[in-house]
Every structure is written in structure tokens, then in C-alpha cells.
Amino acid sequence: MTVSDRGSAGGHRQVGVKDVAAAAGVSLGTVSNVLNRPELVSARTRLRVETAMSELGFVRNESARQLRAGRSRTLAYVLLDGANPFFTDVAQGIEEVAEAEDLSVFLCNSDNRAERELSYLTRLEQQRVQGILITPADPHAAILDELPRRGTPVVIVDRTRGGDTTHCSVAVDDGLGGELALGHLVERGHERIGFVGGPLTLGQVRDRKQGAERALAAAGRPPDSLLHLETTALTVPEGRNAGQRLAGLPAATRPTAVFCANDLLALGLLQQCVTTGIRVPDDLAIVGYDDIEFAAAAAVPLTSVRQPRRKLGATAAELLLREVQDPDHVHEQVLFTPELVVRTSSQTP
Amino acid sequence: MTVSDRGSAGGHRQVGVKDVAAAAGVSLGTVSNVLNRPELVSARTRLRVETAMSELGFVRNESARQLRAGRSRTLAYVLLDGANPFFTDVAQGIEEVAEAEDLSVFLCNSDNRAERELSYLTRLEQQRVQGILITPADPHAAILDELPRRGTPVVIVDRTRGGDTTHCSVAVDDGLGGELALGHLVERGHERIGFVGGPLTLGQVRDRKQGAERALAAAGRPPDSLLHLETTALTVPEGRNAGQRLAGLPAATRPTAVFCANDLLALGLLQQCVTTGIRVPDDLAIVGYDDIEFAAAAAVPLTSVRQPRRKLGATAAELLLREVQDPDHVHEQVLFTPELVVRTSSQTP
DNA sequence: GAGTGACAATGAAAGGTTTCAATTCAGTGC
DNA sequence: GCACTGAATTGAAACCTTTCATTGTCACTC
């Protein structure tokens, strides 16, 4: 009396290797060999087993496989903002590397919420993913240290944590990016310059702002002359909001140029300017950050600081894979260099 | 002699329920009860077990859990283009519903490649995800029928398959969307109108085009008077490319208006027009599709056909969950209505 | 014709969790 | 004291695959 005969009446009981073995008249182990080391199985038997598999509609059970193997065939990328093309481009870079290694990538959107990030990280650890790539909403979360200690490697993407010895990281020099952006505006002769960005809990925003201030200082101006228009997120609506506040300032004190912490803000700001009648770049020059695809297609093509997005993702994935393969691996901090792309939005009138 | 004492020297052997049970001086089953039915365990014992867990750094093994339970706590959304904000917005809608049910969402980017889509679907089935949401690159793939037959429910998002009785689906009436777009252009008095989009293997593109033709016919014009500029993908670069071809046409025969199959194309086209000196809307009116966030922030704010993106995702997720819970559930085909949002890009000069 | 080696196939054990029927125990009512 | 109750806890079985030491088979060689 075999285990089979699962009437088609109710739902589908699982078809397992056992059933395949019975149908093909071979042992359990042979079926497994067909799946995992086909070269050990004679052509004749292999064919019989494969036929049985497709006839029964056998689907390998990944849970059981993983349970035995102790690890999965999956990576995960926990990203800060699924609606920001910057991160989806980074994800593409990751996917390319993963695909070459025959790994799947689990994309998780923390939406910049620490509790959601924590919940994803917990789940991913429980799923025993091979490793996690993350652009953290909360870079100080304890779990980021615990995960590698318990055996799940973590690579920090688009962020560095000073003197971090438990993670690899890949980032772009945000300080330099800020310098480039502001240096450019200073060079174009702007006197009153603003910085649009926030929250300052985001390291990216802090670093870009500090870079901007350094550039001001280098030009012999007081760094605090940089007017900070704070935002609660790096999104298009927040950019529009900042634009409204800007429009509310008397023209005499209003900045003649602003540097935005990312392109979404810059696009929102730009849109609001068009609505309000502030001319760009004549009344207001704008520099964005990230150089997302839409920057060039904006109302006024946007000057922006370009980051090697795909490369960022690909490198991070490579570091992760290296760490997975080599347990006592020395953590590396890779820093890429950004590049200023000048377009109309910052043209001198 | 307990199972413990796993020297910190090498790697970390797993800490399992067994170890927790030993440390807390209770049985296996009790630990499991603390995890799954805490109300069955006395407060004192529960506390002891929980302490042991955090001391040992216990991490539940999801594979084993799933293996026993037969299903996971995960949904997946296989999307067509990770770089298109339309799909990430749909994903947001899905995530909202999933989060409420305490499910994770696996986002997979098929990048419009059938073989990649197939590979993801295969993996997801092996992982025994609760169900799959998909905007298919290949709507005729056999696996889309096999999955539900073998027990993994599938909901089609942003697409319908005529007379489909094996899937629920959620879509927006693309035909109507096309009619709206073209009706608008006809009404504005345009005589030579183009359609930019492709490949026609994408049902969305076909339906929008057919709708457009219907609108032409309704206005008493021959449907084939719609000049089709075919693209190989619905992306910004392809839009630029189409823009170049358009600019190459003699001004006398060049359309005075185009309807683009999505906003990415429209934005690329618009950008190319700005570069080439074709004035929008004076020389060329443009209507896009999707009304993504960037449409309003474009060089010339873009007239577009708005789709209820989040709602689309949320509804699809709800249908999927309903199907998961109720095995003999009647498949539903939900169709939303699009809406024309008129902006500057189609203003009559 | 015994011995050797290569190749195929086998089947039991292991992996960590959950489930459930069975057991223990303290308490209650008579 | 006894039988009974309900709550708390237990331990073995089940989930499905992979691994690996073992057995079986056959063709060759000396």
C-alpha cells in the first residue's frame, strides 16, 4: 500500500520525490540524484525519472531543500524608497550580479520606516537568506550588528558607518558631491544659496549638506550663510512644499540658487516654481542629486550630481557574495566618486 | 551533557528550539507553544522560555516552519519593469494590503523578458509562496495556467485574458483610456495624429491603440489614419528615439499630435522635442498614459491618462488573499476606469 | 574463474519546526 | 478520600529533501 492515490477530488496533496520514485520504479535517492547530480545517473534511468516528474507535475519543495542545505539561494535588498528611481537602478545592478550566480533577489521596501525595516530584516534572517544588502533607514539599529554575528552577512549600500568593522559598505562620496554642487553654484556667481533637504537623520543628507558648507567655506564665505529649507522626506511632494515656502520669501532675500538633496526634491521644487512663476534658472538656479533618468527630461533639464547607480549595486552584490564564500573575509569600504552633470537649470542667465 | 557548548571558534551552528528547550528546562513542544500559541503557556514558563531565546540568540527557522506548515507567509509580485514608477506604485498598493495581513511581499522584476519571468515563477512555486501577483511579460505562458492547477493562486495585474477562468484579474480599461486620449486630441482639432508605442505583443499597447482607433472612427476618420511609430519597449530612451524619427519627418506630413502608450515614452519624446526645437504643444501636442508622478513635473506638464495605481495593486492583493482563503472561489475580473488629466502638453496654442 | 574496479542504485539518517494525542498535576465538589 | 475537571506540559510523529556509506552489477584482467 503506497502513499499515493490522492484522489483528484479535494485539493492537491503535494507530489514529492517519493511519489516520483514510486512512479519511475526507482529509489528516493536516485530521484534526488537526477535533480542534483544527473551525471551519476544512467541516461535510461534519468529519462524515466524525468518523465515521471513531468507527468506527476512534481515541484521541488524549496523549504525542505533549504532545511537540509542550511541556506537558501536568495539575496535580499532592503531599500529606502521604492518610488525613487535611484534605488530601483541600484537594484538592477544587484540583480545583474545575482542572476549570473543563479540567485534570486528579494526586493523589500522599508519606505524609510525603521519598524518596517526591522520587520523585514527579522523575516529575512528567519528565511536564512544568503545575505542582505541594505540602504538603512536606521543605520544605528542594533540588528545590523547582530545579523552578521549570527551568520547573515550584511552589506551597507549608499551609506558608510564610520569605522565599521562588521560590514562591507559601498557608497558614493556624498561630501564631495555636495562640494561639487555648491562649488558650481558659487562659481556661477550666486550670492544667496539655499539647501533643500531632510530629514537630517539621513546620513546622505547630512553629508551632502556638510560638503556644500565646505565648498562655501573654501570660497571664503561663512558656511552658515547656506539657507536650509528642511524637508521631512526626499520626495516630489516635499519638493513642491519647499517650493511654496521659497516662493513665500521676499524676492530680495530669496536665494538665487538652491542645491537639493536629491532629484525628486528638485523636480518637485521645479514644478512648484513653474506654477508660481519663478523662472528657472533666471530667478532661481537648481542643482539636484542622483541624476535619475527623469532629471534630463524635466521642465528645465536639471543639473545634477551623478552617482554610478548600477555600479553601486553590482559592487555591493559582489562584496556580499565574496563574504558569503569566504567566512573570514576582511570587510571593505568602497567609495565611488560622483560627477557633476551641468544642464539648463543652473545656466547663468 | 546538553547539546550546547558550541565554541565560538568556528562558525555558528544553528540555535534551535531544542537548545532553547534545554536551556529553559522545558520540552520542545512548550517552546513551540510559546512561539505559536502563547496563551496556552503559563506566564512564568513563557517568561523563562523567552529569556532563554534571547540569551541564546534563537532565530526561528522559516524553512522548517514552512516545511511543516506546507505554506509560507509570503506573496510575490512579478512586475514588468522595475524602472517604471507605475509598477512601483502598484507594488505599494499590494504591500499595504499584505502588511495588514502580516505577509511579506517578494518583488521580482521580469524586465519584460519571458525567460526571466519563467525563472522567477518557477522559483516562487518551489518556495511555496501563498500566491503570485503578476503583470505578465508573456501572457500566454503555459505556466500561468499550471500554477493554479498545482495549487498556487495567480492574479493577473493590469491585464485581462479574454474568458480567463483560471485567474482573477484586475485591470484598467485600456481601450477606454485610448479613446479618452484620442477623443481629446480630435476635439482639439488635430488632423494628423500619431501613436507612439510598442511592442504590440504587450496587450496594454494593443488595447490602447485600438481604443485610439475607435475614437478616430467615431469622429468619422479612417482608423488607419493613425500614424504608428513603433517602439521596442516602453522606456524613456525609446521615447527619445521615437522623437528623433518624428523630427525626421517633413513638417508638412508630421503629426501635430501624438498619443504615447505610456508616460516614459512621452517624457523621452518630449525631451527629444525640446532638444530638436519642436515646440510642445504648439508644434506637437502630446498625451501620455499612466500619469506617473513625473508627468506633472515634466518639461511641459504632461496630459496623461490616469490609472488608479495603488487601488489596482490593493484590489489585486485582496482578490489573491480571498482566493487563498477560499479554495473554491469564483474568479473575478475587475476593471477600473481611467481618467484623462489635461495639462499643458496638449493645450491648444 | 577469482579478483578488481567502475559505475548505478539504494535506503536510512538528518535537518528544525509544528501538531496532536496523551499525560501530569493541582484544584474542586461531594 | 475519591472521582472528576481543566489547564499546562510533554514527546513522538510528520513535513520533504539531500547526503553518504553501502550494496549490487557487470565487464575486464590476470
What does B158-189 look like in DSSP terms, one character per residue?
S---TT--S-EEEEE-HHHHHHHHHHHHHHTT
**Cβ(A207)–Cβ(A181) under 8 Å?**
no
In chain A, whose CA is at the least distance from the CA of B143? A57
- What is the rounded (10 degree) CA torsion for A282, A284, A289, A290? -40
* Residue B225 DSSP code: G
Does residue B20 sit at the A interface (CB-CB below 8 Å)?
no
Does residue A349 sit at the B interface (CB-CB below 8 Å)?
no
Cα A299 from chain centre: 27
- Paired with A339 in beta bridges are A306
Which of A1-10, A113-122, B309-318: highest mean pLDDT? B309-318
H or E segment and range at residue A128? none
**Between residues A10 and A35, the one the model is more confident about:** A35
**Cβ(A178)–Cβ(A208) under 8 Å?**
yes
Strand C: which bases are under 7 Å from protein Cβ?
A: 7-21
Q: Which phi and psi (to 5°) does residue B147 adopt?
A: -55, -55
Separation in Å: D20 C1' and A309 CA: 46
For residues B331 and B333, give the distance between their C-alpha atoms in angstroms, rounded to a whole number: 7
For residues A310 and A333, give the distance between their C-alpha atoms in angstroms, rounded to a whole number: 17
Per-residue confidence (pLDDT) for residue A319, from 0 to 100: 97
Strand D: which bases are under 7 Å from protein Cβ?
A: 7-21
- Quick: pLDDT tens for A175-185: 999 999 999 99
Facing residue for A299 by CB, picked from B128, B150, B298: B298
* Confidence category of residue B300, pLDDT binned at 50, 70, 90: confident
**Residue A8 identity (one-letter amino acid):** S
* Residues 6 or more apart in contact with residue B250 via CB below 8 angstroms: none
**Between residues A67 and B349, the one the model is more confident about:** A67
Q: Do B123 and A104 touch (CB under 8 A)?
A: yes
Which range is least confidently modeled, A71-75, A204-208, B202-206, B254-258? A71-75
**Between residues B164 and A219, the one the model is more confident about:** A219
What would the mean pLDDT of B113-127 be, rounded to a whole number? Answer: 93
Q: Which three cell numbers stand for residue A29?
A: 535517492
* Confidence category of residue B142, pLDDT binned at 50, 70, 90: very high
Q: How far is CA A191 from CA A206, A222, A243, B175, B189, in A?
A: 22, 11, 19, 53, 48
Residue whose entry in the numeric block shows the C-alpha cell 481618467:
B339
For residues B209 and B204, give the distance between their C-alpha atoms in angstroms, rounded to a whole number: 9
Crossing angle (nearest 10°) for helices A62-69 and B62-69: 140
For residues A163 and A333, give the distance between their C-alpha atoms in angstroms, rounded to a whole number: 9
**Cβ(A272)–Cβ(A239) under 8 Å?**
yes
Nearest-CA neighbor of B200 among B174, B169, B162, B171?
B174
What would the mean pLDDT of A134-140 be, rounded to a whole number? Answer: 94
Per-residue confidence (pLDDT) for residue A69, from 0 to 100: 87
DSSP H helical ranges for chain A: 17-24, 28-36, 43-56, 62-69, 85-100, 114-126, 143-149, 174-187, 203-218, 236-248, 263-276, 293-296, 309-325
Neighboring chain B residues of A73 at a CB cutoff of 8 Å:
123
Footprint of strand C on the protein (CB under 7 A): A 26-30, 32-33, 40-42, 44-46, 64, 67-68, 70; B 13-14, 16-18, 28-29, 31-33, 35-37, 58, 60-61, 64-65, 67-69
**Cβ(A11)–Cβ(B329) under 8 Å?**
no
Q: Which phi and psi (to 5°) does residue B194 adopt?
A: -115, 160
For residues A307 and A87, give the distance between their C-alpha atoms in angstroms, rounded to a whole number: 11
Helix (H/G/I), strand (E/B), else coil: A273: helix
For residues B118 and A176, give the distance between their C-alpha atoms in angstroms, rounded to a whole number: 43
For residues B94 and B103, give the distance between their C-alpha atoms in angstroms, rounded to a whole number: 10
Residue A119 scores a pLDDT above 60: yes
Q: Which phi and psi (to 5°) does residue A146 adopt?
A: -70, -40
Does residue A66 sit at the B interface (CB-CB below 8 Å)?
yes
Residue whose entry in the numeric block shows the C-alpha cell 489635461:
B342
Per-residue confidence (pLDDT) for residue A163, from 0 to 100: 76
- pTM, full prediction: 0.89
Q: Do B150 and A57 touch (CB under 8 A)?
A: yes
Does residue B276 sit at the A interface (CB-CB below 8 Å)?
no
- Quick: pLDDT tens for B66-118: 999 888 989 999 999 999 999 999 999 999 999 999 898 989 999 899 999 99
Q: Do B301 and A274 touch (CB under 8 A)?
A: yes
- Quick: pLDDT tens for B22-57: 999 999 999 999 999 999 999 999 999 999 999 999
**Cβ(A292)–Cβ(A298) under 8 Å?**
no
Residue A11 scores a pLDDT above 90: no
Nearest-CA neighbor of B335 among B192, B175, B141, B136?
B175
Crossing angle (nearest 10°) for helices B17-24 and B28-36: 110
Residue A14 scores a pLDDT above 90: no
Residue A9 scores a pLDDT above 50: no
Q: Which phi and psi (to 5°) does residue A12 adopt?
A: -95, 115
**Cβ(A270)–Cβ(A204) under 8 Å?**
no
Count helices and strands (H / E) in chain B.
12, 12
Q: What is the mean pLDDT of chain A?
A: 92
* Confidence category of residue B207, pLDDT binned at 50, 70, 90: very high
Q: Kindly state the percentage of chain B with pLDDT values over 70.
A: 96
- Quick: pLDDT tens for B156-205: 999 988 778 899 999 999 999 999 999 999 999 999 999 999 999 999 99
Q: What share of chain A is helix, strand, coil (3-state, %, to 5)?
A: 45, 15, 40
- Paired with A133 in beta bridges are A77, A155
- In B171-207, which positions are buried (b, 16+ CB within 10 angstroms) versus exposed (e)? bbbbbbbbbbbbbbbbebebeebbbbbbeeebbbbbb
Neighboring chain B residues of A116 at a CB cutoff of 8 Å:
99
Residue A5 scores a pLDDT above 60: no
Footprint of strand D on the protein (CB under 7 A): A 13-14, 16-18, 28-29, 31-33, 35-37, 58, 60-61, 64-65, 67-69; B 26-30, 32-33, 40-42, 44-46, 64, 67-68, 70
